[in-house]
Every structure is written in C-alpha cells, then in structure tokens.
Amino acid sequence: MKTKSLHNQLVDWRHDLHMNPQISFEEVYASNKVANLLNEFGIEVHQGIAKTGVVGVLKKGTSTKSIGIRADMDALPINEINTFSYKSKIENRMHACGHDGHTTMLLGAAKYLAEHGNFDGTIYFIFQPDEENTFGAKTMIEEGLFTKFSIDEVYAMHNIPGMEVGSFGTRKGAITASENLFEINIEAKGGHAALPHMGVDAITVGSQVAIALQSIVSRKLNPADNGIISITEFITDGKKNVLPGKVKMTGDARALSKQTNELIEKNMKKITKGICDAHGVSCDISYKTTCPVTFNESEQVDYATKAANSLLGNKKSNGDIEPRLFSEDFSIMSNDKPGCFVLMGNGIEGSNGRPLHAADYDFNDELLVIGSSYWVELAEQQLK
C-alpha cells in the first residue's frame, strides 16, 4: 500500500476531525484544516465554493486529461455515546457517517500524489459540505465546480459497516436510491368523539391511506425492482374526546430508477385521492425528489474495479454488488459527469460494525491507508 508510511499521520488527522464535527455548511473546522494541509502539500487551493467547500488542483506533466475525486466533510446532529479519547467535543454533533474518514483518506491521497505521484494530467480533490441534507454537491456545481474546473470524470467512496474492512464493491447502473420526501394533508370535518356519524374522522381516513400505500410496493411494483415507502410521521389535531379534522402524514420513498419513482408517485396520488373521495374529504399531496439515483457509468465502473483489483486482488473486490437503498448526493455530480461511486467495508466488529448514523458508530482507522492508497492507484491508472 503506497500510503502505508502515512498511517499515524492519517489517524491523527481523522481523530482531530472526529473531535470537531460540524453539520451542513458549517464545516469551518474541517474546511480550514483541509485547505491548510493542501497548501502545505503544495497543491493549488480554491476555498469558499458552496461556503465551506474546497477544491485542490494538482497538475503534473502535459496531458489535458483529468480526474475528480470527492470526499464529504459534514457531521450529523447526533450526541455521540462512544467513550474513546477522541470522541466528539461538541454536544449534539458527531461524525456518525464516517465523513471524517472520507476526508482523511482523500487528504492522504493528496499528500502522497503531490510528493510522489507518478501521473500525467490533473487531479481535482473535491471536499464538499452538506452531504447529509443533499445540498452540498448541488451548491458546489451551482457555484462553478464543473465550469471553473475542467473535470473529465468523478469518483467518490463511502465506508460500509458490516462489510469486511477494506473489501471493495461497486456496480454498473444504479448503486444508491433516490430520496423522495412526501407530505399528505387530509382535511375532514372532525367532530365529537361520541357523535361520529355527525362528523368525519380524519384518523380513520388517514389510517386507511397509510395501510393502502404499502400495497404500492407489494402489488404495483415489479418484484424484480426495488422501492420503499415509509410513512414516518402521522400528526392529527384531535383531542381525547374530539375527532380530528386534520391529518398530516410525511414520509420518505426510495427508488432505484426514475420509472419506479414515477410509479410510486402516481399511485400514491391515485390511492390517496380515491380513499379521500370515498369518504368525502379533501386531500393535498406533495412529492419531491431531494436526491436522484446515483448512476454509475459502465466505463468508470470498469476503471474503478480495475484499480481495486490491482490494490486488493479480485477476492476482495467486487464490481457487481447489490444496490443500496440509501441515497447519496454524489448522484448530482455523476449526473453531470461520467462517474462511479464505490463502497469499502468498514469492518464487522464493535463500533466499526454499527450502522451508519448510530450514536456508537465509528470509522475504522484501518481503512485510512487502504482507502487513500486506493485513490492513489485509481488516479495513477487513469492519468498514466
């Protein structure tokens, strides 16, 4: 592994980032640290793209070919319950998705490539804010990521708990789902709890809608396709002895294709409206895609898998894993440029094996050298 000698340094950087987590567009600590280190490595630094976003530009040789590698820097509004020495110093802020590790791996690759990199072309190191609310990539693009910089193709990585540490996976086509937030408002008459026949109970109608929506995935969607509808809030204005007149349901639908997403939206509107009509109540449905499907271009998947094979051997790298139903705003970058999103195992044991966003999760320090060496391998192969 090319970045092996950086191990202690990488662990220090990661622990420092872990102790100082900040959320969406507030990642000043990480952003300054990234910019200072890139400067120290002799890399051209561009700050202030989407507030805290940073782009490092490293050019060698004469080729006009280029590659962009993206890491996310934001933490989550979670209170960390880990007790190790480098636990979060900030209340209700935690690197519970491993973005401290993603940032550190890309910094490690940047240091190695600046000092010893054997390539001909330009590498763009992209450090983005706010992945969790899915506005970071979008805002960086709006502020010129792909117009100010000539980036041919883009790559990004996420750690995956429960997968053997350092094992690699990606796939062609959709790799992570779209996120679609919906809100359903039902307006009925309400009434007296003891006189239901004189009013209209919004809870009874809302409950029927909630149950019926579950039949979309089980009965409308081709079983070979994937989708999820989760109703996550059900709020009424009822009281102990008052039938509610209003129900508000919000939720989250996921899909691995535009077609599935359209099918979910269309059926959600049809079923909700049908049930409400039958009860003589009115409804209003909004359905918004906040993050598109992450689509991996075949050619870039081949390159990404080839680099993993060279680094890890083909037993530890898989170019045809199953898609994941979480969403990832790198999708917005790979919508604009051919790209590939890859996963690397964070380990199975202890805090490394806990789910992302759990208050006792932790990024695996063993992955720092592997992940940064992977970026070095990929960049050197792509810019031979």
Residues that bind Zn ion (CB under 5 A): 97
Residue from 251, 265, 254, 271 nearest 209 by CA: 271
Q: What is the DSSP letter of 223?
A: T
CB of 131 to Zn ion, least distance (A): 6
CB of 125 to Zn ion, least distance (A): 18
CB of 309 to Zn ion, least distance (A): 25
Q: Report the sign of the C-alpha dihedral through residues 135, 136, 138, 139, in that order.
A: positive
Nearer CB in complex with Zn ion: 109/343: 343
Residues 349/165, Cβ–Cβ less than 8 Å: no
Which residues face 192 on adjacent strands? 242
Residue 95: how many other CB atoms lie within 10 Å:
28
Helix, strand, coil tally for the chain in percent (to 5):
40, 30, 35
Residue carrying structure tokens 């390539």:
119
Question: Which whole-number Å values give the CA distances from 131 to 53, 139, 140, 306, in the listed order?
Answer: 11, 11, 11, 27
CB of 356 to Zn ion, least distance (A): 5
CB of 368 to Zn ion, least distance (A): 16
Which residue's Cβ lies closest to Zn ion? 97
CB of 94 to Zn ion, least distance (A): 11
Q: Report the sign of the C-alpha dihedral through residues 363, 368, 373, 375, in that order.
A: positive
Nearer CB in complex with Zn ion: 263/342: 342
The DSSP element (H or E) to which 191 belongs, if any, is strand 191-192
Q: What length does the chain have?
A: 384
Nearer CB in complex with Zn ion: 69/97: 97
Which residues face 60 on adjacent strands? 121
CB of 20 to Zn ion, least distance (A): 17
Residues 135/329, Cβ–Cβ less than 8 Å: yes
Nearer CB in complex with Zn ion: 97/163: 97
Nearer CB in complex with Zn ion: 50/97: 97
Nearer CB in complex with Zn ion: 210/332: 332
Nearer CB in complex with Zn ion: 97/378: 97
Alpha helical stretches, state H, 152-243? 202-215
Q: Where are the beta strands (DSSP E) in 303-338?
A: 317-318
Nearer CB in complex with Zn ion: 29/119: 29
CB of 233 to Zn ion, least distance (A): 20
Tokens of 187: 């307006």
